[in-house]
Structure 1
Amino acid sequence: MTLNIPDVPLRRTTPVWIAAVLAVVIAAVVVAVTPTQAKAIATSVPLGTAGSFGVLAGTTVTNTGDSVISQDLGVSPGTAITGFPPGVVLGEQHSADAVALQAQSDLVVAYDDAAGQDTDFALDSGIGNGETLLPGVHTAESGVGLTGDLVLDADGDPSAVWVFQIPEALTTASASRVLLTNGASPCNVYWQIGSSATIGTNSTFVGTIMALTSISVTTGANIDGRALARNAAVTLDTNNIFLSACGTGTTGGAATGGAATGGAATGGAATGGAATGGAATGGAATGGAATGGAATGGAATGGAATGGAATGGAATGGAATGGDTTGGANGGETGGNGHGKPKKPKKHKPKKPKKHKPSKPKKHKKPHERVGGYVSDHKDHLEESVQHEGQHSRSA
């Protein structure tokens, strides 16, 4: 008898370790194809000798009003510089000389460097709605308008760099602002403009503008950076163009209300900044000569010059606490409550002791002398008694 046993299909089982390997491979593939935000690759733009200029033009520099430029001012190949005074340049002026020519040459290199950096982020044509931009290369497809507040956030990295590539014009609205936060530095912000730039009335701008054509800074606008035009004019109207210390930009500081809008413009940084910031940081440089702070009463004639750094004011508190802050020799030299040069103590000269002359002893009166008509001598008294007794015996 034959048993008919039905065939049962064998189950193919996948070993556990193979399944684990497959899961890892699949996960890696998914991560690889998932789009992620590119890491910022912006690098600092080499300005060369152009970095010493606050304003540099190709044809002319024209100023109206009490503008203050903390760094050098130059033009090349053009020669015309007008409006200084009343404008004030705390650096040097260069009109079509070798220095300006070299600065323009270095500006071309810097402009090309900024334009050639790879893009990290697309830049909208309308910015300034309170958005925050991270470090990196931000590239626009056309002209850009800044309408309000734009925040640049370094996320705690003082070396963070922003490069803005704008192929056409840049225009900022009145009272618009570029704000720095979390260690962002105005020294590391670059605007490469393929045409012209116009900075709006009473606005606050940050960074180095490198315009192919012209730059117009309208009434009351402040730039914490530079205005460098390659081929055409730079026009100013009662502006402060300075450069704050690198690595110190913060929201509300140089960009929003410190040296830019409150300090240099109204005299804050101008009168108190000479000791701590000076021309280098944009403090006194921005409002010094215009308001009479560092240029006329502060570091130049009073604080640091006479009582500040020269005599110890600036070092011990003269220029910093009393000298340039109050604007003159009274603060610098005296330092306010003893911060200036201490007076030398008077030398004590001991008096010579008087020579002691011993007094001559008084001569005693000789004994047995009559004093004042009275008998004071005992011997005389006895003689008189003897004579009296002799006379009495004879009479008897």
Structure 2
Amino acid sequence: MAIGTTVGLGTADPYSVLAGSAVTNTGPSVLAGGVGVSPQSSLTGFPPGIVLGAVHVADAAALQAQADLVLAYDDAAGQASDAAISADIGGQTLAPGVYTAASSTVITGTLTLDAGGDPDAVFIFQIGSGLTTASGSTVSLVDGAQACHVFWQIGSSATLGSSTTFVGTIMALTSISTTSGTTVQGRALARNGAVTLDSTVFTDASCADEEPTEPPVDPSPPVDPSPPVDPSPPVDPSPPVEPSPPPSDGPTPPPSEGPPPSDGPTPPPSGGITPPPSGPPSDATSPPSSSGTRPPASPPADSRTPRGSRGGDLAETGADDGLLALGAGSVALVLAGTATVLWRRRTRSLAHPDGSGHGR
């Protein structure tokens, strides 16, 4: 069995309706694709008819579409036939193939096209004269069949009765007419005559895996955004400050303190009392003059340091043992001077118990 091959429509593919002489519409017809007329230029009934695709009237696009329609028509007519069909093919179920009718053919009721699970299955009908559908007739697709692979090559004209549900691309040598309430999933392409519509809806007949044949409109090129502004270079952070070494955890030793001066008289250095002289005191004996030895007018500052102040300073500044020795020496000098003064006073008091030694 010689299975048919799909028919290429070329630039006629995006049209729902294409005519050679005129396109006339009555009522609210809707065309999912475009509409075109060439070589004539009559287009009426839009509105109320609605065209969702492009409209080409007697222009180069319509002329090219007609030329491609001739090629498609000849391709379908030239394919080898697989089987002949009766005058009325309504109520039948047909497998993929090329079917031929010597003259006119009628569809009454439902014609079923079964693809047998092959979505690429092709159905081609070669009708010698005319094709007519009775009112309310239906062409049904089952088991993977697609409208894009169904072609009707008509030797004269085609007429679809009211409320017919039709499938496939009609390529008529003369004219095509649809009556009220007809739905076509496909195309009505007339080479020489007119296409007349009455409240007919044409839906898309593209294959499930096909993309639209009309190239999409190129969007405006995106505007190049302004180049990003280079951010300022980061400021080098200041070098970290090395922390001072923490103070020693050990306690700071308190400064050495000399013994506090005694409130009482200090014994003479010999540890005993010097006896008075054997004779009376000479006139030369006199109380020490002002030029005698005396303690310094301004005693050195008290070297004692209150707890918690001086000792801490010494610990922090690292004072050495020499400073401590100097402080101790100063304290010793003060104590020695004080002891000398007290001893002299005691000596005088013993030598002159009545106080006569005073006032000289």
With normalisation by structure 1, the TM-score equals 0.52
The alpha-carbon deviation at position 280 of structure 1 amounts to: 6.4
Secondary structure of the residue aligned to 1:128 is coil
What displacement does 1:121 show?
Answer: 1.0
| Residue number among 116, 122, 126 corresponding to 2:78 in the alignment | 116
Tell me the distance in 1 between the aligned counterparts of 2:183 and 2:196.
13
Which residue of structure 1 lines up, in the alignment, with residue 150 of structure 2? 189
Counterpart of 2:53 in structure 1 is 91
How do 1:348-359 residues align onto structure 2 when only pairs under 5 Å count? none
Matched, 1:203 2:160: no
Instruction: Using the TM superposition, give the Cα deviation of residue 243 of structure 1 relative to its aligned residue in structure 2, in angstroms.
Output: 1.8
Q: How far is the alpha carbon of 1:245 from its aligned partner? A: 4.5
Which one has a bigger Cα radius of gyration? 2
Contact 1:244 1:280 in 2 (8 A): no
Q: 2:168–2:205: 8 Å Cα contact kept in structure 1?
A: no
1:184 aligned counterpart, secondary structure: coil
Give the drift of 1:244: 4.0
In structure 1, give the amino acid aligned to 2:129.
Answer: E
Question: 1:114-137 CA deviation, whole Å, 9 max, x = no partner?
Answer: 0000000111111112x1000010
Deviations 1:119-173 (A, max 9, x none): 00111111112x1000010011110001110000000000000000001000000
Structure 2, unmatched stretches of 5+, are 214-360
Q: Distance in 1 between matches of 2:121 and 2:85?
A: 18
- CA distance, structure 2, for counterparts of residue 135 and residue 107 of structure 1: 23
- Alignment partners' CA distance in 2, 1:141 and 1:159: 27
Instruction: Quote the sequence identity (%).
Output: 60
Mapping of residues 1-396 of structure 1, within 5 Å: 38=1, 40-129=2-91, 131-247=92-208
Change (3 A) 1:245 1:108: closer
Distance in 2 (CA, whole Å) between partners of 1:90 and 1:80 is 19
> What code does the residue aligned with 1:237 have?
D
2:189 and 2:85 map into 1 onto residues whose CA distance is 22
**2 CA distance for matches of 1:78 and 1:221?**
26
Query: Residue 159 of structure 1 contacts residue 247 of structure 1 at CA under 8 Å; is this kept in 2?
Result: no
Q: TM-score, normalization: structure 2?
A: 0.58
CA contact (8 A) 1:221 1:239 kept: yes
Q: Is the 8 A contact 1:115 1:192 kept in 2?
A: yes
Contact 1:201–1:220 (CA under 8 A) maintained in structure 2: yes
Give distance in 1, aligned partners of 2:13 and 2:7: 10
Letter of the 2:88 partner, please give it: G
CA distance in 2 between partners of 1:247 and 1:178 (Å)? 19
Distance 2:13 2:93 in 1: 27
1:242 to partner: Cα distance:
1.8
Q: In structure 1, how many angstroms separate the alpha carbons of the residues matched to 2:76 and 2:85?
A: 15
> Displacement, 1:46?
1.1
CA contact (8 A) 2:86 2:105 kept: yes
Spell out structure 1 runs of 4+ moving beyond 2 A. Answer: none
User: What is the match of residue 330 of structure 1?
Assistant: none
- How many residue pairs get aligned? The number is 213
The residue type paired with residue 73 of structure 2 is Y
Larger RCO (CA under 8 A, 6+ residues apart): 2
Do 1:57 and 1:233's aligned partners in 2 also have CA atoms closer than 8 Å?
Answer: yes
> Aligned partners of 1:193, 1:108: CA distance in 2, in Å?
12
Write the distance in 2 (CA, Å) between the matches of 1:205 and 1:156: 21
| Residue type at the aligned position of 1:141 | A
Distance across 1 between alignment mates of 2:4 and 2:152: 12
Spell out, residue by residue over 1:198-252, the C-alpha distance to the aligned partner (whole angstroms, 9 max, x if none).
Answer: 011001000000000000011110100000000000000001012244249xxxx
Instruction: Say whether the 8 Å CA contact 1:243–1:280 is kept in structure 2.
Output: no
* SS of structure 1 residue aligned to 2:61: helix
Q: What secondary structure is seen at the aligned counterpart in 1 of 2:188? A: strand
1:41 is displaced (CA, Å) by 1.9
Deviations 1:24-51 (A, max 9, x none): xxxxxxxxxxxxxx2x420000110011
**Greater helix proportion:** 1
Q: Per the alignment, do residues 222 and 126 of structure 1 end up closer, same or farther by CA in structure 2, a change over 3 Å counting?
A: same
Distance verdict in 2 for CA 1:245–1:98, change over 3 Å: closer
